[in-house]
Amino acid sequence: MTDLAIPECSASGDAIDLSASGIGVYLPLQFAPGTSVQLNIKDTVLYGFVAYSCPERSFFRTGIEVVQVLIGTSGLSQLLKAALEEAMPNLQMEYSGHR
């Protein structure tokens, strides 16, 4: 995940859940609520805002309110697209154009 205002502020983590408003991730860094972020999953890019970031074990459980998705063409991205459509049916999704 990358802070769009400070691109050098970036961290890798694990996606842990999907909800009607976004995605939950475990990250090694804490991001402030309201931060605009970009989340890369394979060849798909999700854009959104940090809703919360709370310490949990040795990570920060971070909720991302997803507002736009650029879907890639990989098999994993197609599975992600199906999961996002089910969890967030009103989410704006577009194909990224990468072939």
Domain assignments of the chain as residue spans, ordered by start: 2-93
Query: Which residue bears the tokens 């959104």?
Result: 48
Q: Please give the structure tokens belonging to residue 30.
A: 């804490």
The model's pTM: 0.90
Tell me: pLDDT of 98 over 60. Answer: no
pLDDT tens column, 15-47: 999 999 899 999 999 999 999 999 999 999 999
Average pLDDT over residues 45-56: 97
The predicted structure's pLDDT at residue 97: 67
Q: How confident is the model at residue 60 (pLDDT cuts 50, 70, 90)?
A: very high
Q: Residue 35: helix, strand or coil by DSSP?
A: coil
Nearest CA to 53 among 92, 22, 8, 84?
A: 22
Q: What are phi and psi of 82, to 5 degrees?
A: -60, -40
User: Could you tell me if 22 and 50 are in contact, meaning their C-beta atoms sit under 8 angstroms apart?
Assistant: no
User: Could you tell me if 34 and 17 are in contact, meaning their C-beta atoms sit under 8 angstroms apart?
Assistant: no
